[in-house]
Structure 1
Amino acid sequence: MRGFRWPPPPDSGPRTWGPGPGGPRTGRPALPEPETELVTTPHGVRLERLVTGTGDPVTVFAHGLGQGIATTRPFGSGVNGRKLFFQFRGHGRSEAPPGPWDYLDLARDLRAIADLGGASRAFGASLGAGALCRLLTESPERFDKLVFFLPAVLDEPRGPTARERVTDLLEAVESGVASEVADIVTLELPPAVRNTPAGWAYLRQRLDQLLRDGLADGLATLTDQTPLRQIGDLTAVTAPALVIGCAGDDLHPVEVAERLAVALPQATLHVYDRPGVLWSERADLRDRISGFLNE
């Protein structure tokens, strides 16, 4: 991968091979992770949780596959009230009960955190969006407002690209070799960001968490599963929903977001014209999510 090496430069600045500017660059290090807690759920799986903010309403945030609390927190930066962030089973410090797991298991994790914290609104990103869909098929009136960010799968399995990425990540984390994990995690970043101070800070934070806590093997089977038997299972959901997709995202096809928005009776769809919106459209994304949830 041209322009990438591990370990990173000590000053977090960009470094490329070959001739070119080489002056010192400074970068802001990643913020230390806040202290989390382990909570016991009614279905017997202890999950890692972080609670921020105060007052009502309460919003629960569900992360993507291989992600976690740290990567989900930016979505709630402008949201009013109390916010519940957690790690699905097999992620972070959450327990990994014997598998295989399915989206019903993930929906139980999500429901438990929401119920224990009194959440009336829910946000789901990628895998978290699928778990939220599965929960809603059982309890369509559970939440007052819903946000789906980059939904990846509904009633049709994900493609080979997603399966390969998850397999590669699990194998790299299992190896414990930082450079191998870094090669996979770097693919989460837009090319223009990969060799910048912000990109290095993100990479350091992700590697610290993944190499410390690992990922459970039970996650591998999720890429072949779907949260819904048929998309019509969502027609009973009447809560206002915001669905956000991105054109050109191979892991989260925009067609999935479009189908989800059509299936939900009270949904609004917004599609960004390119992937990597957490980097290229961060302010707009934050305002769009908080504006919808806070209004």
Structure 2
Amino acid sequence: MRDFRWPPPPDGGPRTYGPGPSAPRSGRPALPDPETELVTTPHGVRLERLVTGNGDPVTVFAHGLGSGISTTRPLGSAVTGRKIFFQFRGHGRSEAPEGRWSYADLARDLRAVADLGGATQALGVSLGAGALCRVLWESPERFSRVVFVLPAVLDEPRPDAARRRLTELLTAVRSGDAAEVAEAVAAEVPPAVRNTPAGWAYLRQRVDQLTRDGLATGLASLPEQVAVRERSDLAAVTAPALVIGCVGDDLHPVAVAEQLAETLPSATLHVYDRPGLFWAHRADLRERISEFLNP
């Protein structure tokens, strides 16, 4: 049986055990991370930001829990205009204020980055989708178009699986052991690609990022919290919305995507038929997002 091992194969893999097919192992090295900047927000928290592209519209991209700019950039590859990617507090080079954090704090980060960059459109993934819901709950007319990818929480806390996953990841990052971090991150990679060059490249990138930048302990309480007090209040949001979910994802129940699409008056729901959305449907996902956001 082929299973997960760390460190990665030096030649790009895949590494196999026992008899099995072989092939050239010519995995390409990962591209270097782009140069980002730290911006000071009106609420006093400096956040890491990357701006690409030119012109209108301006779209802000909000990442998921424990992820960052590198995971949202591919979603904007076909989106026209200026694109603003950033790291929430406690992620990457962004500051990590002391105390307990809430979705109101994340919404403040998202709103500040959007306001500073003049963003009129927004896309949120998982945690970022929750923060986007919170912004719209407070200011229903803030964005002209919005995309929610794998929304995980509305007015009920996230499932126990999400809490366990985050606890394992935070524990691994605090240990400073790259192998332990890799073991926790490996759960993000579908078994079918876990021992392939693409799977190893993803693991390498995530482990390098997490061991370098860490994750703030203030994130630990977020899975127990809700994004909005009453999801019915989101019915005041009139902007066109695209809601994307998938079946079989324990961390992002498809019911949450369905509830959000039912609540938003101008929402389009698309549900993929299996988990591993960013691996199995990446090209279709990018095309669907760009067709919705591009003028």
Query: Which range, TM-score by smaller chain?
Result: over 0.9
2:206 and 2:163 mapped to 1: Cα distance?
A: 20
- Which residue of structure 2 aligns with residue 140 of structure 1? 140
Shift of 1:233: 1.4
Conserved in 2, the CA contact under 8 Å of 1:153 and 1:226?
yes
Task: Give CA-to-partner distance per residue, 1:14-73, whole Å, 9 cap, x none.
Answer: 112222234541111211100000000000000000001111110000000000000110
**2:108 equivalent to 1:114:** no
User: Which residue number in structure 1 is paired with residue 252 of structure 2?
Assistant: 252
State the SS of the aligned residue for 1:223: helix
Matches within 5 A, 1:226-265: 226-265=226-265
- Residue identity over aligned pairs, in percent, reads 76
Residue in structure 2 matched with residue 9 of structure 1 by the alignment: 9
**Contact 1:15 1:22 (C-alpha < 8 Å) held by counterparts:** no
Residue identity matched to 2:248: G
Cross-structure match for 1:220: 220
Alignment of 1:1-295 (within 5 A): 2-295=2-295
In the TM superposition, residue 281 of structure 1 has moved relative to its aligned partner by 1.1
Mapped partners of 1:24, 1:79: distance in 2 = 35
Residues in 2 aligned to 1:292 and 1:270: alpha-carbon distance in whole angstroms? 12
Deviation string 1:156-214 (CA, Å, 9 cap, x unpaired) is 11111100000000000000100100011111111111111111111111111100000
Which amino acid in the other structure matches residue 45 of structure 1?
Answer: V
Check the 8 A contact 1:147/1:243 in 2, yes or no: yes
Structure 1 unaligned regions, length at least 5: none
1: CA distance, partners of 2:155 / 2:39: 31
Superposition TM-score, scaled by structure 1 size: 0.98
Measure how far apart 1:3 and its partner are. Answer: 2.0
Structure 2 unaligned spans of 5+ = none
Tell me how far apart the structure 1 counterparts of residues 169 and 267 of structure 2 sit (CA, whole Å): 33
Distance 1:282 1:248 in 2: 17
C-alpha distance in structure 1 between counterparts of 2:54 and 2:23, whole Å: 45
Q: Cα offset for 1:215?
A: 0.2
Q: Which moved more, 1:183-192 or 1:251-260?
A: 183-192
Q: 1:2 to 1:160 in 2, by over 3 A?
A: farther
Q: Write the letter of the residue equivalent to 1:41.
A: T
For the Cα contact (< 8 Å) 1:4–1:16, is it kept in 2? no
Residue type at the aligned position of 2:91: H
Structure 2 counterpart SS, 1:60:
strand
The amino acid of 2:225's aligned partner reads: Q
Report the count of equivalent residues.
295
> For 1:217 and 1:178, how far apart are their aligned partners in 2?
18
Q: Runs of 4+ in structure 1 displaced over 3 angstroms?
A: none
Return the alpha-carbon distance in structure 1 between the equivalents of residues 174 and 166 of structure 2: 12
Q: Which whole-Å CA distance do the structure 2 matches of 1:25 and 1:149 have between them?
A: 33
Q: Which amino acid aligns with 1:13?
A: G
